[in-house]
Amino acid sequence: MRGPGMEWTSTVDTLAAQAAASPWGAVREALARIGEQEAGVRAWTHVAPLNAMREAGETPSQGLLQGVPFGVKDVIDVADMPTGCGSAAASQAPCTFDASCVSLLRRAGAVPVGKTVTAEYAFRAPGPTQNPRAPGHTPGGSSSGSAAAVAAGMVPFALGTQTGGSIIRPAAYCGVVGFKPSFGGVFRDGLTLTCESLDVIGWHARSVADAQTVARVLLPFAPTAAALPELPRRVAVVSSSPEQALDGDGAKALQDARHIFESHGVACVDVPFEAAAAIAQAHNTVMQFEFARSLEPVARRRGDRLSAALLETVRQGFEIPFETYLQARHQQAQWRAQWSDLFGEADLILTPSASGAAPRGMASTGASAFNRIWSLLGWPCLHLPTGHTAAGLPIGVQLVGRFEADHDLLRWGRSLHVRLLEAR
């Protein structure tokens, strides 16, 4: 019997190649893994039976992801599955249509096998998911189910969303690759939006190579130019957050990554990110203002089914003056275009994914202090799992790329990750 943390031995490219002979083989394997481990991990809110998929009359399309199973965070629609948003307030009726991103993945041959657990309306109240790589520690949030399903080896990749740190932090805590594309990079039709100016659809994967393959399907940006160097020339290092201190494990992971990059000829330069505090405050303003207006209809009709924390955030959001929100949005647009002013000639930014390893306990999903500034800026982010702490908990680092340079970030991230893993 497979234990938690057992990874797929094949890349999604290999699984797709094998689908020519056995179209449902990888899906059948995913469902078996879910059946064996779900009672302990609790990553799913809905799993589709194989016979139901077959009876629907759809054989996996030939394409880049033919026959590859994947999970979908339960704020993203999948036809014939409910979108529960981690809340008793949401409808449990099956959806009629796929979200755009799910449909595009189906078009490439991938098969959605179920819906993964999310925090309540992708906010703070944790779901039931356990961390398969760190029992007794939070899996993070709000894309907890997606990260845990990949970490447990149930599926090779799973869709998630990020408003503050909801893709990168669960990736860090569960020890998997997490990719948040540039804002607007993935079509959001069929997503239950909470923050119009911040929400991004991304994914967790077992490797950067797998994340790249998914990106080839979902991201409209031009692929990486063949002339791009194998490694970035210059990396800006941002090692602190105005909101939270980096602990010893987080600091060591960052320094270890920096030393390995430098040993391969990458110039790493400390950059004092003086605008970080203002950006974090702007994120808080935009998030609360938009979240309040998105959730107000639910709070008005079914407030008795929502958590006190969510209702309080809705209340606080309506107290923010419209002029304050507009100023934050104006600053957001200005900062997004200021890579060169803020980071000079850096190709990438190296920064923590979280303050350290997953905190013990399940009452909180952890803090997004090392994520929210990049979410406001809308720049693409990639979590690289690099190893474990002395206590055996997953640890890693985050790379941030220029706006809409997602494929460059993934290509460089893949090259750098290989070197980080070789040095373990």
Catalytic residues: 73, 142, 166
- First vs last C-alpha separation in the chain: 28
CA angle 21/22/26 to nearest 5° reads 135
Q: Is 351 in contact with 342 (CB distance < 8 Å)?
A: no
Residue type, 74: D
DSSP state of 179: E
**333 sits in which H/E element:** helix 322-336
Q: b/e string for 309-346 if b means 16 or more Cβ within 10 A?
A: ebeebbeebeebeeeebeebbebbeebeeebeebbeeb
DSSP states along 365-416 = ----TTTHHHHHHT--EEEEEEEE-TTS-EEEEEEE--TT-HHHHHHHHHHH
Q: How far apart are CA 65 and CA 109, in angstroms?
A: 5
Residue type, 132: P
CA angle 266/258/352 to nearest 5° reads 125
**Closest residue by Cα to residue 248 from 140, 356, 333, 100:** 356
**Closest residue by Cα to residue 156 from 69, 264, 52:** 69
Q: How far apart are CA 399 and CA 168, in angstroms?
A: 10
CA angle 401/402/406 to nearest 5° reads 65
Q: How far apart are CA 101 and CA 202, in angstroms?
A: 10
Q: Reduced to 3 states, what is the DSSP secondary structure of residue 34?
A: helix
Orientation of helix 208-218 relative to helix 100-107, angle to 10°: 100
Q: How far apart are CA 259 and CA 346, in angstroms?
A: 17
Share in percent of the chain as helix, strand, coil (round to 5) = 40, 15, 45
